[in-house]
Amino acid sequence: MAQILIADDDYAYLSSFANGLEAFGHSVTGVNRADRVLPKLMDKHFDIVFLDVIMNGGGAITYLHKLRESHPDLPIVIISGMPDIVDSPLYTLGLRRANARLHKRISLEDLNAVITELTHD
């Protein structure tokens, strides 16, 4: 199963995300600030990264581009609890290098399907 890194400053969502995907057999590591993603990637291999659009330590647009520079083949998924933001023209342009953009209300089954598709797991 996949080694997953998620960056989200909503502790309740981070915990639910981890618990739900661990039930599918995935290993999940969570960080609550975007600026903690790169150090984690230097310490451990991850198959996929999830980034919240807006959070402490920088948002998805900034870190998506930094991750693409250092890890060009790593699947990166943008998540947000605000679908209007993810679908807005400004964010769509800034987030175009992501492999997927998802609303946080996605079902665990659909989320697992996205992980399987992007990691070929």
First to last CA, the chain: 6
Q: Which segments of 71-107 does DSSP mark as H helices, in order?
A: 83-86, 89-94
Query: Would you state the pLDDT for residue 94?
Result: 63
| Position 45 confidence tier, pLDDT thresholds 50, 70, 90 | very high
Q: Within 13 Å, how many C-alpha atoms sit on residue 71's CB side?
A: 21
Closest to 38 measured CA to CA, from 11, 80, 2, 5: 5
Domain span at residue 61 reads 3-119
pTM metric for this prediction: 0.90
Task: Write the CA distances from 15 to 32, 66, 117, integer angstroms.
Answer: 11, 25, 23
Closest to 22 measured CA to CA, from 4, 40, 41: 4
58 pLDDT above the threshold of 80: no
16 pLDDT above the threshold of 90: yes
Averaged pLDDT score across all residues of the chain: 89
Question: The CATH number of the domain where 82 resides is what?
Answer: 3.40.50.2300
Convert the pLDDT of each residue in 67-103 to its tens digit. 999 999 999 999 988 777 666 766 666 677 889 989 8
Query: What is the tally of structural domains in the chain?
Result: 1
